[in-house]
């Protein structure tokens, strides 16, 4: 039969268990606003019962203990959230990069390319009616200069956008590599720990994995001793304590902010090629007709536009210097020695109506440019809408995770009061046994 001290031991275990539960709860409260912290719970279990000598009397409970301190985390939910974070990062990276390009092509806007192109054709139309007037010739030159300045500005700003993306890619890859290094250090600390599950280190590990997932489409696996292995596609970045940094030249990333930046880089490159094609076609078609005419000096027309490479290696469109210095070199006439002939100027103005340019996909110059503007706007809108959609899904996943892993102060305070009352009850039971022992030892003499 268990003695009187058996009850003291039950009370002692109750006190120790409730105290441990209070400590776990207090730790949750203290970390309520700690980023990446996962709520912990003291899992209580009855200790092994005391078997009574007579089988018919059954067993006598021996108290309670904290079997484990459980970290509340759903690995499956973490994986789903990281997949979604990669999508958020992908579209957000595109959205930010394309926003700068879309702003350049925003229409309607004052002095946009379509308006400048229309003014350019109108000036040729006016010149065809007054081929000998200096003001009409000067208007053609000025409208052409305005158009070339705008086209060159767009081309230059897209180069700037590409440079910014390249810098951002370098920064993000550096950030990803730094996170990989931190993860390897966490792996090392977990492996060196005295317990299999170091909750604080595992929280830090999972927070790093979330940040990495937003940057790239990572693959994550865990060993039996909770060490994380991270890869991107076929490339391993972190394995145990080893880190294999990602090189910018070798980056094959489809999702995350890095994937979004790489996708935006390709799209802007395509826009640059189309803008170059537009400038080239504009110059070629105007020059082709201009060369068929005659100037006021009765000489044959030269190129109206020139395409030249700058010292920085950029191709810029400009008005022929000879025409800039002398408007009489504009070949408005179709016949020589006919100063009042403006038929060639009318032919150049008629380029506006042509919709059969094979270089532009059987489109007109204005139509091709509008198509480019629409394509840029569509890509930006898709990125913006997809970012909003995936953020909404991510918020739902995060809400699910917080319902399990997040700390609710109201819930923790309720548990704290329960453990407090249980502790006080165990203390009262210990006092009762203390009185029993006092009676047994000190008063029965």
User: Tens of pLDDT along 85-115?
Assistant: 999 999 999 999 999 898 888 766 667 888 8
Long-range CB contacts (within 8 A, 24+) of 396-404:
397/77, 397/80, 397/81, 397/84, 398/81, 400/77, 401/74, 401/77, 401/78, 401/81, 404/39, 404/72, 404/73, 404/74, 404/77
At 314 the three-state DSSP class reads coil
User: CA-to-CA distance for 172 and 166, rounded, in angstroms?
Assistant: 10
In angstroms and rounded to an integer, the radius of gyration of the C-alpha atoms of the chain is: 39
Q: Tell me: pLDDT of 56 over 60.
A: no
Stretch 389-402: mean pLDDT: 92
User: CA-to-CA distance for 331 and 335, rounded, in angstroms?
Assistant: 10
Stretch 381-386: mean pLDDT: 94
Q: Which is nearest to 168 in space by CA: 99, 233, 262, 95?
A: 262
Residues 357 and 425 in one domain: no
Residues 264 and 147 in one domain: yes
237: left (phi over 0), alpha (psi -120 to 50) or beta: alpha
In the DSSP assignment, the letter for residue 56 is G
Can you give the pLDDT at residue 310? 76
CA distances 245 to 63, 167, 206, 210, 253, Å, are: 53, 18, 19, 18, 14
Residues 295 and 369 in one domain: yes
Specify whether the CB–CB gap between 271 and 101 falls below 8 A.
yes
Stretch 323-333: mean pLDDT: 91
Can you give the pLDDT at residue 166? 92
User: CA-to-CA distance for 37 and 204, rounded, in angstroms?
Assistant: 8
Q: Tell me: pLDDT of 311 over 90.
A: no
The pLDDT-based confidence of 246 (bands split at 50, 70, 90) is confident
Stretch 17-29: mean pLDDT: 93
Residues 358 and 432 in one domain: no
Angle between helices 256-290 and 75-104 (to 10 degrees): 20
User: CA-to-CA distance for 419 and 120, rounded, in angstroms?
Assistant: 83
Distance of CA 188 to the CA centre of its chain: 29
Can you give the pLDDT at residue 348? 92
Q: What mean pLDDT, rounded, does the chain reach?
A: 88
Residues 68 and 99 in one domain: no
Specify whether the CB–CB gap between 260 and 98 falls below 8 A.
no
Stretch 6-29: mean pLDDT: 89
**Which DSSP helix (H) or strand (E) runs through 66?**
strand 64-71
Q: Which is nearest to 20 in space by CA: 61, 55, 70?
A: 70
Can you give the pLDDT at residue 212? 94
Percent of the chain with pLDDT over 70: 95
Residues 59 and 87 in one domain: no
β-pairing, 40-46 vs 228-232, is: unpaired
Can you give the pLDDT at residue 195? 67
In the DSSP assignment, the letter for residue 315 is E
Residues 347 and 390 in one domain: yes
The pLDDT-based confidence of 42 (bands split at 50, 70, 90) is very high
Specify whether the CB–CB gap between 268 and 372 falls below 8 A.
no
Q: Could you tell me how many residues make up the chain?
A: 445
Stretch 154-171: mean pLDDT: 92
Lookup: tokens for 154: 């767009």
Residues 231 and 296 in one domain: yes
Residues 61 and 190 in one domain: no
- Among the listed ranges 54-58, 201-205, 252-256, 365-369, which one has the minimum average pLDDT value? 54-58
User: CA-to-CA distance for 202 and 72, rounded, in angstroms?
Assistant: 11
β-pairing, 59-60 vs 50-51, is: antiparallel
Can you give the pLDDT at residue 53? 67
Percent of the chain with pLDDT over 90: 57
Residues 143 and 24 in one domain: no
Can you give the pLDDT at residue 308? 85
Range of the domain at 262: 73-405
Q: Which residue has the tokens 């018919």?
A: 56
Can you give the pLDDT at residue 177? 93
Stretch 249-273: mean pLDDT: 89
Specify whether the CB–CB gap between 278 and 285 falls below 8 A.
no
Choice between 224 and 375, residue whose per-residue pLDDT is larger: 375
Most distant CA atoms of the chain, gap in Å: 147
User: CA-to-CA distance for 317 and 282, rounded, in angstroms?
Assistant: 10
**Strand ranges across the sheet with 235-239:** 218-222, 228-232, 235-239, 242-243
Q: Tell me: pLDDT of 312 over 70.
A: yes
Can you give the pLDDT at residue 356? 82
Helices (H), 193-342: 199-215, 256-290, 321-325
Residues 297 and 434 in one domain: no
Lookup: tokens for 384: 């913006």
The pLDDT-based confidence of 55 (bands split at 50, 70, 90) is low
The pLDDT-based confidence of 257 (bands split at 50, 70, 90) is very high
Q: Tell me: pLDDT of 408 over 80.
A: yes
Residues 426 and 335 in one domain: no
Stretch 74-81: mean pLDDT: 90
228 prior amide bond cis, ω within 30: no
Q: Tell me: pLDDT of 1 over 60.
A: no
Residues 214-237 have pLDDT tens digits of 999 999 988 888 888 999 888 889
Can you give the pLDDT at residue 116? 92
Half-sphere exposure of 68 (CA within 13 A, CB side): 8
Number of domains into which the chain is organized: 2
User: CA-to-CA distance for 175 and 389, rounded, in angstroms?
Assistant: 26
Specify whether the CB–CB gap between 72 and 40 falls below 8 A.
yes
């Amino acid at each position: 039969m268990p003695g009187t001290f058996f009850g003291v031991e039950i009370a002692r275990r109750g006190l120790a268990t409730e105290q441990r539960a209070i400590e776990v709860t207090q730790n949750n409260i203290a970390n309520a606003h700690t980023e990446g912290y996962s709520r912990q719970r003291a899992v209580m279990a009855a200790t092994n019962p005391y078997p009574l000598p007579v089988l018919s009397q059954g067993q006598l409970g021996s108290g309670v203990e904290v079997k484990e301190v459980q970290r509340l985390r759903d690995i499956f939910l973490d994986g789903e959230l990281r997949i979604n974070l990669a999508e958020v990062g992908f579209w957000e990276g595109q959205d930010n990069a394309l926003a700068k390009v879309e702003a350049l092509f925003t229409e309607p806007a004052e002095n946009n390319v379509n308006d400048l192109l229309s003014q350019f054709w109108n000036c040729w139309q006016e010149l065809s009616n007054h081929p000998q007037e200096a003001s009409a010739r000067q208007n053609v030159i000025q409208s052409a200069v305005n158009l070339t300045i705008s086209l060159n500005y767009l081309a230059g700003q897209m180069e700037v956008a590409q440079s910014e993306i390249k810098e951002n890619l370098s920064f993000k890859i550096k950030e990803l590599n730094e996170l990989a290094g931190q993860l390897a250090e966490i792996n090392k600390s977990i492996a060196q720990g005295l317990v299999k599950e170091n909750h604080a280190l595992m929280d830090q590990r999972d927070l790093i994995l979330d940040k990495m997932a937003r940057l790239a489409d990572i693959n994550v696996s865990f060993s039996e001793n909770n060490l994380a292995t991270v890869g991107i596609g076929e490339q391993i970045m972190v394995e145990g304590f080893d880190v294999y940094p990602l090189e910018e030249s070798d980056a094959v990333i489809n999702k995350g902010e890095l994937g979004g930046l790489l996708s935006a880089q390709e799209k802007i490159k395509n826009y640059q090629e189309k803008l170059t094609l537009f400038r080239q076609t504009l110059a070629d078609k105007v020059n082709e007709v201009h060369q068929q005419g005659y100037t006021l000096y009765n000489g044959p027309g030269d190129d109206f536009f020139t395409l030249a490479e700058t010292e920085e290696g950029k191709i810029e469109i400009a008005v022929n210097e000879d025409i800039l210095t002398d408007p009489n070199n504009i070949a408005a006439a179709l016949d020589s020695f006919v100063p009042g002939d403006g038929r060639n100027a009318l032919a150049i103005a008629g380029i506006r109506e042509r919709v059969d340019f094979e270089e532009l996909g059987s489109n007109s110059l204005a139509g091709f440019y509008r198509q480019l503007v629409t394509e840029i706007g569509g890509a930006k809108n898709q990125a913006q809408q997809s970012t909003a959609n995936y953020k909404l899904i991510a918020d739902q996943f995060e809400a699910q995770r917080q319902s399990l892993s997040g700390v609710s102060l109201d819930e923790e305070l309720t548990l704290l009061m329960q453990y407090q009352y249980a502790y006080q009850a165990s203390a009262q039971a210990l006092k009762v046994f203390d009185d029993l022992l006092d009676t047994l030892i000190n008063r029965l003499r």
